[in-house]
Amino acid sequence: MPTFIETLCQQAKAASRPMAQLSTGEKNAALLRVADRLSAERGDILAANRADLETAREAGLSPALLDRLMLDEARLAAIVADLCRVAELPDPVGTVFDEATLPNGLRIHKVRVPLGVLGVIYEARPNVTVDIAGLAIKSGNCAVLRGGSETLRSNVALAGAIRRGLVGTPIPADVVQLVTDTDRARVLELLQMDRTVDMIIPRGGAGLHEFCRQHSRIPVITGGIGICHLFVDASADLDRAVEVIRNAKVQRPTVCNALDTALVHQAVAGKFLPRLIERLAADGVSFHVDPAACDLLAGRSDAPVQVAGPEDFDTEWLSLALGLKVVSGLDEAVAHIAEHSTGHSDGILTEDEANARRFVAAVDSAVVYVNASTRFTDGAQMGLGAEIAISTQRLHARGPMALEELTTYKWVVEGEYHIRG
């Protein structure tokens, strides 16, 4: 007798076989049907969300969490609009590449196929339910969704609308499965379903990622944790460098591609640091500075500056805090990044092309920047049209993962009754 989780995953696996052979047109039409259904059921969806919000308020959830959980007409309309945009994205499935004819006449190529079944474990935000379902359907995959207990009613309403929207299309409703039992033991069980689930995507904090790595028999896409650096080289345009650092730190400090540490070349630190601090202090930024930077700032006791503690350069701030360190040059900057970066997004600000090349060669992060804000590490910003996760692991995909990263390939070998000699 299969368990609840086994049944969900087996249903998804069974649905994944026909999914792989659908045309782009069939998938796009189904996405638009789902979008219509979500709009039609918005009254029920918003009512379910209000019930989740009320419970969450009674449970004393923070205003930030309540905000992440909240849906209203405008937010739901935006979610539906995003889904319609997924229908417009190019479909990676069926793309042929690496074609060759071997000396013996065998013709070989690779063709993109869906990964199969995605297991997604996430918290709070109910929009993830629709985002993932949309990207999964577009890429020919099935999704087993396990959202947080605080959004259960919203997710039941959303996943129900998605499944009802699929009725009458060539796509079986079973491509989207919601784990409605929010006992944490079900997560553990899901991580063992390596016969039916092909990839686990955790969307949450470091604890969730660690839990998945520890317990999963299925490959886990870890990511989303960014201790991000920008190095201000001696040749940098300092005025513009201030603005890039400000953007990277201030524009949206709570996300993984926000800046955590600025490294400043000693040759320009005396000039640069006071300007940087003055500009960003006005935004409410507080600074954690190494002793060398401290010395340079002596006498500016009005600034929100404190000496960096031993953990500060290994902290993803997710707030208006910024580490500052003076370095002797590019080599020390690269060494600091190698030691402290999480391999998410790191960059150099410089006018020196040779230094830019050396930095790009030496820094091995998912996204390496020259003269740009780390905030561009984002599927939409990088022209991928959508994003399911930002990978900081090394296999399969690095950085923003979009539709193509939800596919794999198969080899096709065609011959004339070829035998191996």
The closest alpha carbon to 169, from 16, 42, 19, belongs to: 19
- Minimum Å gap between C-beta 69 and a second copy is 26
- Minimum Å gap between C-beta 300 and a second copy is 25
Question: Please, which residue, 169 or 373, has the CB nearer to a second copy?
Answer: 373
| Residue 166 to residue 163: CA distance in whole angstroms | 5
Strands 96-101 and 107-114: antiparallel
Residue 396: left if φ>0, alpha if ψ -120 to 50, beta else—which one? left
In three-state secondary structure terms, 204 is coil
Residues 259-318 that bind a second copy (CB under 8 A): none
Residues 116-135 that bind a second copy (CB under 8 A): 116
Task: Choose the binding region for a second copy from 36-44, 160-168, 264-272, 394-402 (rule: CB under 8 A).
Answer: 394-402
Cα dist. 110→198, 239, 384, 411 in Å? 19, 49, 22, 4
Question: Please, which residue, 314 or 364, has the CB nearer to a second copy?
Answer: 364
Task: Choose the binding region for a second copy from 84-92, 266-274, 295-303, 407-415 (rule: CB under 8 A).
Answer: 407-415
Q: Write the binding mask 342 to 381 for a second copy: x where contact by CB under 8 A, - elsewhere.
A: -----x-x------x---xxx-xxxxxxxxxx-xx----x
- Minimum Å gap between C-beta 169 and a second copy is 20
Question: Please, which residue, 247 or 315, has the CB nearer to a second copy?
Answer: 247
Figure out which of the listed residues 56, 89, 113, 263 binds a second copy, where binding follows CB under 8 A.
113
Q: How many residues bind a second copy (CB under 8 A)?
A: 68
219 beta partners: none
Dihedral sign computed on CA atoms, order 238, 224, 404, 162 = negative
Question: Please, which residue, 104 or 306, has the CB nearer to a second copy?
Answer: 104
Q: Is 240 in the site for a second copy (CB under 8 A)?
A: yes
Neighbouring residues of 75: CB distance < 8 A, sequence distance ≥ 6: 127
- Minimum Å gap between C-beta 244 and a second copy is 5
- Minimum Å gap between C-beta 70 and a second copy is 25
- Check residue 223 and report its DSSP letter: B
Figure out which of the listed residues 244, 273, 296, 403 binds a second copy, where binding follows CB under 8 A.
244
- Dump the DSSP string for 51-117: HHHHHHHHTT--HHHHHHH---HHHHHHHHHHHHHHHHSPP-TT-EEEEEE-TTS-EEEEEEEE--E
* Helix (H) / strand (E) containing 203: strand 199-203
Figure out which of the listed residues 12, 53, 143, 199 binds a second copy, where binding follows CB under 8 A.
199
Question: Please, which residue, 181 or 329, has the CB nearer to a second copy?
Answer: 329
Task: Choose the binding region for a second copy from 42-50, 61-69, 148-156, 404-412 (rule: CB under 8 A).
Answer: 404-412
Figure out which of the listed residues 194, 283, 295, 331 binds a second copy, where binding follows CB under 8 A.
194
Q: Is 168 in the site for a second copy (CB under 8 A)?
A: no
Dihedral sign computed on CA atoms, order 262, 266, 267, 271 = positive
Figure out which of the listed residues 274, 314, 382, 385 binds a second copy, where binding follows CB under 8 A.
382
Decide: 292 and 266 in contact? Cβ < 8 Å.
yes
> Dihedral angle at the C-alpha atoms of 152, 154, 156, 158, nearest 10 degrees?
-150
Task: Choose the binding region for a second copy from 41-49, 109-117, 290-298, 308-316 (rule: CB under 8 A).
Answer: 109-117
The closest alpha carbon to 279, from 321, 253, 232, 242, belongs to: 242
Question: Please, which residue, 58 or 416, has the CB nearer to a second copy?
Answer: 416
- Dump the DSSP string for 238-292: HHHHHHHHHHHHHS-TTSTTSEEEEEEEHHHHHHHHHHHHHHHHTTT-EEEE-HH
- Minimum Å gap between C-beta 188 and a second copy is 14
Cβ atoms < 10 Å from Cβ of 418? 12
Q: Write the binding mask 68 to 107 for a second copy: x where contact by CB under 8 A, - elsewhere.
A: --------------------------------x-x---x-
Task: Choose the binding region for a second copy from 142-150, 162-170, 281-289, 413-421 (rule: CB under 8 A).
Answer: 413-421
> Site residues (CB under 8 A) for a second copy?
17, 20-21, 100, 102, 106, 108, 113, 115-116, 194, 198-199, 213-214, 217, 219-220, 237, 240-241, 243-244, 246-248, 251, 338, 347, 349, 356, 360-362, 364-373, 375-376, 381-383, 393-396, 398-399, 408-420
